[in-house]
């Protein structure tokens, strides 16, 4: 069904679209009929910069299953990456 339900996440970061890199500050996240993906419903994410008017976006449309897979991989990458970098930073601090 058509829905206007949108979750909004505040972000710090950048995204690369057709016009190159841009700073982003917001993600609009929704689950509805996709525009391009051949699915009945898709998890859509629009990465935008609201402070710049939000007219340009980097967009993805994912199946529900792959969106959940992405969530777990984001958390896994963060956990392992932060642990790795924490060890490097601890070692660096020890050496100085």
Partner 1 sequence: MARPGLQAETVALRGHNGDQGEAYYARPLRPGKVPGVVVIHHMPGWDEWTTEVVRKIAAHGYAAIAPHLFFRYGRGSPDDVASRARPAGGASDEEVKGDVAAAMAYLRAQPNANGKVGVIGFCSGGRHAYLVACTLPGIDAAVDCWGGRVIVHDPAADLTPKRPTEVIKLTPSLSCPLLGIFGNDDKNPNRADVDRTEAELKRLGKTYEFHRYDGAGHGFFSNDRPAYRPEQAVDGWQKVFAFVEKHLTASQSAAAAS
What are the residues binding partner 1 (CB under 8 A)? 1-4, 6, 8, 28, 30, 32-36, 38-40, 44, 46, 54-55, 57, 59
Output 16 or 85, the one with its CB closest to partner 1: 16
Least spacing, CB of residue 91 vs partner 1, in Å: 45
**Terminal CA-to-CA distance of the chain, rounded, Å?**
60
* Beta-bridge partners for 17: 20
Least spacing, CB of residue 9 vs partner 1, in Å: 12
Number of Cβ within a 10 Å radius of residue 73 = 10
Residue 34: which residues within 8 A CB-CB, separation 6 or more?
41, 42, 44, 61
Least spacing, CB of residue 20 vs partner 1, in Å: 17
């Amino acid at each position: 069904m058509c829905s206007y339900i949108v979750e909004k996440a505040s972000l710090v970061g950048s995204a690369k679209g057709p016009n190159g890199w841009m700073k982003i500050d917001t993600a609009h996240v929704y689950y509805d009929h996709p525009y391009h993906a051949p699915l009945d419903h898709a998890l859509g994410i629009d990465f935008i910069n609201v402070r710049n008017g939000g007219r340009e976006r980097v967009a993805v449309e994912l199946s529900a299953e792959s969106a959940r897979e992405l969530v777990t991989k984001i958390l896994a990458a963060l956990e392992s990456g932060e642990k790795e970098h924490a060890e490097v930073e601890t070692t660096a601090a020890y050496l100085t």
